Chain A
């Protein structure tokens, strides 16, 4: 059987909000203190459950932003029309308790089948970058020499999540931004959406047996994943995660 072993039952447990970090005006990273965490793989997600004082309950999934071995953390983007994300990004305070269960998902994970050496291509649209922080931190912790490229499409520079951390990446990690809506004066990076030409420029050649992870909104993921297949990536080496799968309003 391929992949991660099926774990036992995932039970809900109380987590205590720790430090809160505003990544952008609409995005917040939340550290969660959990008594019983079995550990996670880079790229997995967890479920959050909120209960209102009238008993109303809402659940959502969020990608884990921290590497295996680090305190559990999620990074949440506030959605205008959202229900859970506005609470998590605006109302939650350190010390508040929420319920979580996880980790969840055994396919959008790195390393894949213990292969930490294939060239790694990460393509993010917006808050699709969250699982890639976990992956890149994990790569660094492992001391892996795997060459890694992160192609990150954001609306503008202030919308880039984890910018300081990404800009400081080294040891074989290249971070390539493309800004789709607004570029600062003197911007010498890429502009516009990820298209075939940009993928061709940034992606590892298929002959190098790369493995690709694509995360973002559906249209972004559709277009990037098709583009990579067009460049000769076998579909089995292109893993996708869409906001439909990790976020929701």
Chain B
């Protein structure tokens, strides 16, 4: 099927799409930082905050807020792509690589399910959160990560659509077999590769 042409419709944002090789199909570049969440923003005090790695309900390892800050923290600059079609280039984050945390537990998991304050979950293959591709991020643009953007800490998995970068993350559940997370159950793609435009189930 060829797409119908909309006469009179044309690209208007030439200036912001100069880096087209960095913008996945169907995305546009924004300089704002839009917000997408399914419910109210949680506010967990840092003195009761922890990040845990669990398996079958058992906590294998847990880090308090100060303990997490004491891990090998990195600054990374990455492009991010939201399924609602905005992409933001050269975003600067501060956080701990997931490799650093996973290396402190003994496991043979194939998948993880990130869990969060507010009940949000998202699933990821272990191969996508290791190899320096994913972080627990708590700084953005030189500042503490704001609650509406997922603070105190969110997952950062920039090579997948941004719903995989779970806000308000509190840990990872290690899984032998994949299981869908929150948006993945509501019709969004199980994997979410922006370069293959995997927005919805079946894409």
Shortest distance in angstroms between B188's beta carbon and chain A's nearest beta carbon? 9
**CB <8 Å contact, B1 and A14:** yes
Contacts of B201 in A (CB 8 A): 6-10
Select which of B10, B38, B40 is within 8 A of A54 by beta carbon: B10
Q: At the interface, is chain A mostly helix, strand, loop or mixed?
A: mixed
Contacts of A84 in B (CB 8 A): 9
**CB <8 Å contact, A245 and B84:** yes
Contacts of B48 in A (CB 8 A): none
Within 8 A of A (CB), among B93-117: none
Contacts of B5 in A (CB 8 A): 51-53
Shortest distance in angstroms between B120's beta carbon and chain A's nearest beta carbon? 10
Segment at the A interface, from B28-36, B49-57, B151-159: B28-36
Complex CA gap A92/B148 in Å reads 36
Contacts of A59 in B (CB 8 A): 26, 85
A50 beta carbon closer than 8 Å to chain B = yes
**CB <8 Å contact, A87 and B1:** no
Complex CA gap A243/B36 in Å reads 8
Shortest distance in angstroms between A241's beta carbon and chain B's nearest beta carbon? 8
Contacts of A111 in B (CB 8 A): none
* Given A98-B4, A106-B186, A222-B41, CB of A248 within 8 Å of CB of B35: no
Select which of A6, A96, A107, A246 is within 8 A of B6 by beta carbon: A96
The number of residues on chain A lying at the interface, defined by a beta carbon within 8 Å of a beta carbon of chain B, is 58
**CB <8 Å contact, B36 and A244:** yes
Contacts of B41 in A (CB 8 A): 222, 225-226
**CB <8 Å contact, B40 and A52:** no
Contacts of A249 in B (CB 8 A): 13, 28, 30
**CB <8 Å contact, B35 and A98:** no
A164 beta carbon closer than 8 Å to chain B = no
Complex CA gap A244/B11 in Å reads 20
Chain B, interface residues (CB within 8 Å), range? 35 or more
Contacts of B34 in A (CB 8 A): 218, 242-244, 248
* Given A6-B201, A244-B84, CB of A91 within 8 Å of CB of B9: yes
Complex CA gap A181/B38 in Å reads 28
Q: Which of chain A's residues has its CB closest to B5's CB? A: A53
Segment at the B interface, from A68-76, A151-159, A170-178, A228-236: A228-236
Contacts of B3 in A (CB 8 A): 12, 49, 51, 57, 99
Q: Which of chain A's residues has its CB closest to B37's CB? A: A240
Within 8 A of B (CB), among A33-68: 49-54, 56-61
Contacts of B203 in A (CB 8 A): 9-10
Complex CA gap A105/B38 in Å reads 11
**CB <8 Å contact, A248 and B86:** yes
A97 beta carbon closer than 8 Å to chain B = yes
A4 beta carbon closer than 8 Å to chain B = yes
* Given A104-B200, A235-B42, CB of A58 within 8 Å of CB of B35: no
**CB <8 Å contact, B4 and A105:** no
**CB <8 Å contact, B28 and A105:** no
15 more CB-based (< 8 A) A-B contacts, given A53-B10, A244-B82: A4-B186, A6-B185, A6-B187, A51-B3, A53-B5, A57-B3, A60-B85, A83-B13, A87-B8, A91-B8, A91-B9, A96-B4, A106-B187, A107-B182, A108-B38
Counting from the closest, the 8 A-B pairs by CB-CB distance are A9-B202, A244-B34, A106-B186, A225-B40, A97-B4, A51-B3, A91-B8, A218-B35
* Contact sample, A vs B, 18 pairs, CB 8 Å cutoff: A3-B185, A4-B186, A10-B187, A50-B6, A54-B10, A59-B26, A60-B85, A86-B12, A96-B4, A218-B34, A222-B35, A229-B40, A238-B39, A239-B39, A240-B40, A242-B35, A244-B35, A249-B28
Which residues of A come within 8 Å of B, CB atoms?
1-4, 6-10, 12, 14, 49-54, 56-61, 82-84, 86-87, 91-92, 96-99, 104-108, 218, 221-222, 225-226, 228-229, 235-236, 238-240, 242-246, 248-249
